Structure 1
């Protein structure tokens, strides 16, 4: 049995998500200790439990310690079965993070699966569902992972109630080398559920003005919906570089647009192929083929996922500094197993 320290580096729920995914794929049991031990509310939350339940349904796992607040989890995977199901996080817990845990299942299933997820689509401390759809899935297509997302309803904190359907399809990883980003097209969306449309327009204008001033010509759409929860925010992207900002009480609409646009410009300034948020998401897929990718910076999330992946595979990741012309960042690579 593989034992993983859940307090290592980043020490968050990502360790749990990656470990159970790889356990299901490799059929290696895993014991995770010290789960989120150094966090304000240590142990498993509803969102982490939803991740484990989703993977468990696919690999028919036997699980010990799957309780809210539990700091130890033992996961015994069985045979993979492709079946449709629904997971309700029951809070505004992140749907995006549940999707991160189940995407690797594309490498193990033998037929399509459709999973309905209920919870938060655009919440703090996790990628917005727009990022997963427009960046994560699009990048994974390049290495052979086939999946689709349909956003039925958005869910914001505290009500949640967002609904997303994801289709996983049998896939096989193919090699890829992608170091620099030469794309100059910026797109985005200001999403608004049950708030004044003028808020959306102010957010868009703020972001557009900043990007236009830097020589870009952004295409930012307005999306106005009705739903069970109320919220507003912006998501911007350029190829595999993304940024976002959620509106909240006391934060000016103009500030929301400013934060998202300036964050995007900072990432684009490195000229590297992917942003720092995508780097940790693709680490679990890299041992399956020869992949070499340029990233803006190396985060603790990325190093944490490398730690977990190297526990399951006889593989070592290489991280090298990269500087060429105007591009400056890092290159992550591995030879696969």
Structure 2
């Protein structure tokens, strides 16, 4: 049995999500200890439990310690079952983070699986569902992972109630190399549920003004919906780089647009192929083939996922500094097992 220290480096729920996902596709039992040990509310939350439930449904797993606040989890995977199902996180817990744990299952299924997820689509401390759809999945297509996302309804904190359908298709990883971001076509979306549309327009103007001043010509669409929860925010992206900001009471709309656009510019200035958030998301797929990708920076999330992945595979990740012309960042590479 593989034992993983849940307090390692970043010490968050990502360790649980990655570990159970890899356990399912490798059929190696895993024990995770000290789960979120150094966090204010240590142990498993509803969102982590939803992730484990989703993976256990797919691989008919036996699980010990799957309780809220539990700091130890033991996961015994069974055979993969390619069946459709629904997961309700019960809160505004992140749908995006559950999807992150589900995507590697594409390497082990024998037919399409459609999964309906209910929870938060655009919440703090996780990628918006727009990032998963427009950045994560677009990159994964390059290495052979084929999935589709349909956003049925958005869900914001605290009510949640968002609904997303994801179709995961049988896949096989292929070699891929991409170091620098060569072409830039900026797009974006401002999502607004149950709020005055003028808020969206102010956010768009703020973001557009900053990006235009930097020489970019963004195409930012406005989305107005009604739903169970209320919220607003912006998501900007180009190729495999994205940036977002959620509106919050007390923060002017102009600042929401400013934060998202300035963060995007910071990533683009490195000239590297992918942003720092995508880097940790693709780590679980890299042991399966020869992959080499340029990233703006190495975060604790990325280093933590490398730690977990190296526990499951006889593989070593290489991280090298990269500096060429105006591009500056890091290159992550592996040789497939």
Please show how residues 183-198 of structure 1 align to structure 2 within 5 Å: 183-198=183-198
- DSSP 3-state at the match of 2:314: coil
User: Is 1:273 equivalent to 2:273 in the alignment?
Assistant: yes
Supply the distance in 2 between the matched residues of 1:141 and 1:301 (Cα, whole angstroms).
Answer: 22
In structure 1, the partner of 2:282 is 282
Deviations 1:117-164 (A, max 9, x none): 000000000000000000000000000001000000000000000000
Over the aligned positions, Cα root-mean-square deviation in angstroms equals: 0.3
Please show how residues 309-328 of structure 1 align to structure 2 within 5 Å: 309-328=309-328
User: Is 1:246 equivalent to 2:242 in the alignment?
Assistant: no
In structure 1, the partner of 2:135 is 135
Supply the distance in 2 between the matched residues of 1:186 and 1:209 (Cα, whole angstroms).
Answer: 13
In structure 2, the partner of 1:12 is 12
Cα offset for 1:183? 1.5
Supply the distance in 1 between the matched residues of 2:239 and 2:252 (Cα, whole angstroms).
Answer: 28
Supply the distance in 1 between the matched residues of 2:102 and 2:202 (Cα, whole angstroms).
Answer: 36
Cα offset for 1:267? 0.1
In structure 1, the partner of 2:54 is 54
Structure-2-length-normalised TM-score: 1.00
Supply the distance in 2 between the matched residues of 1:98 and 1:146 (Cα, whole angstroms).
Answer: 17
Cα offset for 1:217? 0.3
Deviations 1:240-280 (A, max 9, x none): 00000000000000000000000000000000000000000
Supply the distance in 1 between the matched residues of 2:221 and 2:274 (Cα, whole angstroms).
Answer: 23
Supply the distance in 2 between the matched residues of 1:50 and 1:233 (Cα, whole angstroms).
Answer: 25
Supply the distance in 1 between the matched residues of 2:88 and 2:313 (Cα, whole angstroms).
Answer: 32
User: Is 1:31 equivalent to 2:31 in the alignment?
Assistant: yes
User: Is 1:202 equivalent to 2:202 in the alignment?
Assistant: yes
Cα offset for 1:59? 0.3
Supply the distance in 1 between the matched residues of 2:310 and 2:49 (Cα, whole angstroms).
Answer: 24
- The alignment of Structure 1 onto Structure 2 pairs a total of residues equal to 337
In structure 2, the partner of 1:92 is 92
Cα offset for 1:336? 1.2
Supply the distance in 1 between the matched residues of 2:40 and 2:125 (Cα, whole angstroms).
Answer: 14
Please show how residues 75-224 of structure 1 align to structure 2 within 5 Å: 75-224=75-224
